[in-house]
Amino acid sequence: MSPVLKAIVRRGLQLHLPVNRLTKPVFAVLYRLHVLVRETWLWTQRVMWAEPLFRSQCERVGTRFEMEQLPYMVGRGCIRIGSGVRLSGKPSIAFSSKHGGAVLEIGDQTFIGHNCSIAVAKAVSIGRDCLIAGGVRIADFDGHPLDAEERRKGLPTPIEAVHPVSIGDDVWIGQGALVLKGVRIGNRSVIGARAVVTRDVPDDCVVAGNPARVVKSISYPLRNAS
């Protein structure tokens, strides 16, 4: 391409409508109209389509439930959701279809962030008033057998390698953390961003790292005084 043609193309890519004292009020009104149309469309899609479809897959959904997009769901299992639960963005829920009887429970007032992934073969329980940040992954099984020959045969994770996950009340899990099978997270504990939780976490502590370790204890003078 000749230099002249490159310059013409470059100038063409830089073209824009002028935003000045005369046109700025017009574009400001158009922007507000754009936001109104977008939000109305998203609200209609959620209320008339995504939320009814998701509720049809749940055994129980409490009052004041809020969601934004239809979660990506694989397999069939039992979903029980408490009151005031909020699902942000588009989380994913995967049930192992090989074992049956998988149960996911989410307690009252808990927030599940965008792009969270929950994989359940037996049971994952999330307590009340929890904050689960975006990109968190929680799983009660490995996803595939550890034995290479079994993987080649397409066999599922053996049932003896499936261990439920239990997350207590008022737990805060930071962005991108990974909670592995068999873990119990105590009440009011905080899981640092990107932490890999491979063992139980006591109540009232902060853990971080890979594997996650206790880095701080949380004290509550008012509670201790009482």
Helix-strand-coil split of the chain, %, nearest 5: 25, 25, 50
Annotated catalytic residue 163: no
Specify the DSSP class assigned to residue 75. S
Sheet of strand 196-197, all strands in order from the earlier edge strand to the far edge? 72-74, 92-95, 117-120, 137-139, 178-179, 196-197
Spatial separation of the C-alpha atoms in residues 106 and 43, rounded to whole Å: 24
Run of H or E including 8: helix 3-13
SS (H, E, C) 18-69: CCCCCCHHHHHHHHHHHHHHHHHHHHHHHHHHHHHHHHCCCCEECCCCEECC
The amino acid present at 71, given as its one-letter code, is: P
Contact 148, 168 (CB under 8 A): no
Spatial separation of the C-alpha atoms in residues 136 and 129, rounded to whole Å: 16
- Active-site option among 16, 99, 144, 163: 144
| Active site (catalytic) residues | 144
